[in-house]
Amino acid sequence: MVQVAVMGAGSWGTTVAKVFADAGNEVRLWARRAEVADDVRDNHRNSAYLGDIELPAAMTGTTDPAEALNGAEIVVLGVPSQSLRENLQNWKDLIGPDASLVSLAKGIEHSSGLRMSQLISEVADVPSERVAVLTGPNLAREVAQGQPAATVVACTDMDRAKLIQAAVAAPYFRPYTNTDVIGCEIAGTCKNVIALAAGIAAGMGFGDNTAATVITRGLAETTRLALEVGADARTLSGLAGMGDLVATCTSTLSRNRRFGEHLGKGETLEQAAASTKGQVAEGVVSSQSVSELAEKVGVEMPITDAVVGVCHEGADVQQVMMGLLGRSKKAE
């Protein structure tokens, strides 16, 4: 048993906290809002994000970062990618000298172009070997309900990856280890962008052939980018790559897919956000970061560029989709 702090009490942060508790650990969940922390501590619920799903007794909630992080051997960072830097600057002095830092955020910081593990290492001033990534086909509600799922714990230090793997292995949750942090993070970031495209296609009324095309060609452009920046090709065909992409592009539980669906029906970004509890999908922000990285390293990513056009350049959804189909013909 280890002491775990989970910093961020959204649907996925709370779910990961539940998994660690179900795996036999003591878990403190930090929430920004007092009503969420009180609900977790007093009622063993996070009604705001997970409805009536019961949380384990080994979990408690707090709004005090010092209380959450005190003695934590594993620190799970579950806040959105674009707010991670600011939060971590406030928390870094409270983190133990050999604690493992685990990133749940999937994105590239727009201002710096850093992947989340790089940002964590820089801001917390810790070696990269202490930073791990948890990623895979893990829709929060299904995992919270105890439905069988698998994930990847990626860390350049395999021994540390195995320690985290052992701590998060619940009866319904099977973690695999990987040392390809780059591949896992690029795949996790890009799949949110591709899921927006899949949602846009669905919102326009297109069916399974279109969805399969978006997923397959989305994986192709993600793989091109990942390999160019140093990833292992095997990662892209595994749980962190293909697995996560399929789940996020096809499930109605996927916020990015749902958001894209609203855009495909002709709604604005503001209208789409209103339909997803006021939250702009991660892929909207990530699309710009991914597109800029791809341009920097000379990789063509037409689906990502199409999403950027719709989300940030006012492009017409119908014209963008037809433009994708009308591109110059090429070999697969």
Question: For the chain, where are the E strands, in sequence order?
Answer: 3-7, 26-30, 59-62, 74-77, 100-103, 131-135, 149-154, 173-178
Q: Catalytic annotation on 191? A: yes
Catalytic residue among 18, 92, 106, 191: 191
Six-digit token string for 90:
């406030």
Could you give the CA distance from residue 173 to residue 17 in angstroms, rounded to a whole number? 12
Six-digit token string for 20:
């660690």
Six-digit token string for 229:
């920046």
* Amino acid at site 111: S
Return the closest-CA partner of residue 72 out of 39, 46, 102: 102
Exposure string over 252-278, b if 16+ CB within 10 A, otherwise e: eebbbbbbbbbbbbebebeebbeeeee
- Please list the active-site residues: 191
